[in-house]
Structure 1
Amino acid sequence: MSVALAAAPDAAAACAGGTDQNFGESFNLRVAAFCVIFVCSSAGVVIPAALHLRPSMSNAMRGGWLFVAKAFGAGVILAVGLIHVMPDAANALSDPCLGWPSYPFAGMIATLAAIAVLVLEGCITAIFERVNTAPTLPLQAPSDLEMSRTSKELTTAYVHGHGHNQEASDNPKVEKVRHLTIAQVLEAGIAIHSVLIGVTIGVASNLGVVRSLLAAITFHQFFEGIALGACFMEAAISRWSYVVMGAIFALSTPLGVAIGLGVQATYSDHSPISLGVQGVFDSVSAGILIYMALVDLIAVDFVEAKRPLRAKVVGYAALFFGAFCMGLLAIWA
């Protein structure tokens, strides 16, 4: 009994958290991390655009490398969601310091986030399709012959188009909006996670830990930047939009580092507030990334699209390589 009573205050103190007094020894490296991660994240986003805009590259070559880059990016994003983000979310939301009942909250929140993305994509695509395919009403009453011809055309269009959901895929405007939605939602999921890992660097006190985190997260953001840039290129966004969206991604982790440096004196990674915030946001991010990788990237390019066998083999290799690279980084961060 006395042992239990003595252990309880220790557990409470651990959950309440204390402040580490050794933040100063790694402060300069964490400030440098702000710049290093920004440069590497920017380089990752820029590489797809630079390759795509090479004047010596033919349209067929552009299409081929974009497919391979997207496959690599899909592997990266899937591994980030399953290997990096989801375990962190589960650990945070199952921590005894939260005092929550035993339940897989991370899995439930990730599931709801994935369903929310599905609903969001469906609503945006349906609204845009309706606006751009709405029939124009005639100014004068049509004749019986015109009515018969119009009725026949509408019936044929419904059976061969709407009945098989082909109009949306054949409408380039609808497809462009769909790809833009995918790019924006994917960036939101990546940015949430990037801010959180930036905070992790910003509050780290041990010099060796900061070095390991900096090396791993730099490659982490570089690979994610390539994946995101490939999605931007497929969405065919304007150069200005590319710059803005790329800058948002590149600044997300440095922003997290700045936040971590600002709250380092009072931050405790075992406090209920920090555990709850990290767990919930990581769960949402994991749900978004896993859904986007499987549904909007892998399924579209490897299941729905008709490609030569050789191209698919190269794509599968890129997919596995991307997942392997991000899985390997999980050893350090």
Structure 2
Amino acid sequence: MIAIPSILVASMIGVSLQFLYRYIPALGPDRVIFGIIKTLTSGVILATGFMHVLPDSFDDLTSKCLPEDPWRKFPFTTFIAMNSAFLVLMIALVHLQEKVNDDKTSQLLRNRVIALMSKVAGVVVSVVFGLTMGVSDNQCTIRSLIAAFCFHELAEGMRLGGPILHAEFKSKMNWKMVLSFPVTMQFGIALGMQIQKIYGETSPTALILMGMLNACSAGLLIDLALVNLLAHELYGPKIQGNMKLHVLGYVATFIGAAGMSLMAKWA
């Protein structure tokens, strides 16, 4: 039972951290530290997609509990991940092709697309991780998962807080997005417990469902990290004109990715 409050607190802290700039000016979106935090969390999301979510999808969709044809004769994981990445690009293209009168409006639309897609990816990943914990009945495994998921939700919350802040939603919408994130894994844990009662951990239905969700999430996360976040931040005019910031951005990205990659040992 300690899993639910621990993960809830970690995700609340993470997603709320970047909104503290009103009280701590150094955390403002125009400050250096905010850009460093953004590249750090971008590294976190990239590693989450490659090191946590994608391998799990491979394991699920190539399991020996599934029929060899078609599950082990076609790379469903990479196919689904590729198409979910295309989906992000298509949605961004549709929104950004709307006629706007100034660069500020165009940038605002882009930020809102990123915020919404980050939200979708974060929710799906958190629910899948919650399902993973919910269907596990090994106490040793559960304890290690709680520790890993607390750090993961803290980092995911920080990553999601940046796009929400840049999207400049109205206050009510901000609160909805901030408060809805921490409950997603709790929902996943509860759902996982119910699935455990209906299906076994190696049930074909459960494996296909979780494998497809993982593959879809991986595509979303990798695309968001590389195209919408890292490329925009590391190759933007603010960092390009300052070699020190450029180096700090790359170092922060590496630290974020390395930290989440290390967590793959336990998560």
- Does TM, normalized by the shorter one, top 0.5? yes
Structure 2 CA distance for partners of 1:288 and 1:56, relative to 1, 3 Å: closer
- What is the 5 A alignment of 1:98-177? 98-99=66-67, 100-101=69-70, 102-127=73-98, 130=99, 132-133=100-101, 170-177=102-109
**What SS does the aligned partner of 2:198 have?**
coil
**What SS does the aligned partner of 1:72 have?**
helix
Match of 1:253 in 2: 185
Match of 2:33 in 1: 65
Is structure 2 residue 2 aligned with structure 1 residue 32? yes
Q: Which runs of 5+ in 2 are unaligned?
A: none
- What is the 5 A alignment of 1:177-326? 177-307=109-239, 308-326=242-260
Task: Provide the C-alpha distance between the structure 2 equivalents of 1:58 and 1:277, rounded to a whole number of angstroms.
Answer: 39
Structure 2 CA distance for partners of 1:106 and 1:55, relative to 1, 3 Å: closer
Is structure 2 residue 13 aligned with structure 1 residue 81? no
AA aligned opposite 2:113? T
Match of 2:23 in 1: 54
Structure 2 CA distance for partners of 1:58 and 1:179, relative to 1, 3 Å: closer
Identity among equivalent positions (%) equals: 32
The one-character-per-residue Cα deviations of 1:243-289 (angstroms, maximum 9, x if unpaired) are 21122211111100111223332231211111111111111100000
The one-character-per-residue Cα deviations of 1:172-195 (angstroms, maximum 9, x if unpaired) are 112111101101101101110110
Q: Which structure is larger by alpha-carbon Rg, 1 or 2?
A: 1
Q: TM-score, normalised by structure 2?
A: 0.93
**What SS does the aligned partner of 2:235 have?**
helix
Asked if structure 1 preserves the Cα contact closer than 8 Å seen for 2:18 and 2:27, the reply is no
Asked if structure 1 preserves the Cα contact closer than 8 Å seen for 2:26 and 2:33, the reply is no
Deviation at 1:201, TM superposition (A): 1.1
Asked if structure 2 preserves the Cα contact closer than 8 Å seen for 1:203 and 1:267, the reply is no
Asked if structure 1 preserves the Cα contact closer than 8 Å seen for 2:27 and 2:33, the reply is no
Deviation at 1:299, TM superposition (A): 0.6
Match of 2:262 in 1: 328
**What SS does the aligned partner of 2:161 have?**
helix
Count of aligned residue pairs for this structure pair: 262
The one-character-per-residue Cα deviations of 1:199-231 (angstroms, maximum 9, x if unpaired) are 111122111111011111111111111111122
Name the Cα RMSD after superposition. 1.7
Task: Provide the C-alpha distance between the structure 2 equivalents of 1:237 and 1:313, rounded to a whole number of angstroms.
Answer: 31
Structure 2 CA distance for partners of 1:98 and 1:43, relative to 1, 3 Å: same
Structure 2 CA distance for partners of 1:207 and 1:174, relative to 1, 3 Å: same
Asked if structure 2 preserves the Cα contact closer than 8 Å seen for 1:34 and 1:258, the reply is no
Task: Provide the C-alpha distance between the structure 1 equivalents of 2:83 and 2:228, rounded to a whole number of angstroms.
Answer: 17
AA aligned opposite 2:83? L
Asked if structure 2 preserves the Cα contact closer than 8 Å seen for 1:202 and 1:256, the reply is yes
**What SS does the aligned partner of 1:96 have?**
coil
The one-character-per-residue Cα deviations of 1:38-77 (angstroms, maximum 9, x if unpaired) are 1110110111111x22255496x84212211110111000
Structure 2 CA distance for partners of 1:58 and 1:244, relative to 1, 3 Å: closer
Q: Which runs of 5+ in 1 are unaligned?
A: 1-30, 134-169
AA aligned opposite 1:271? S
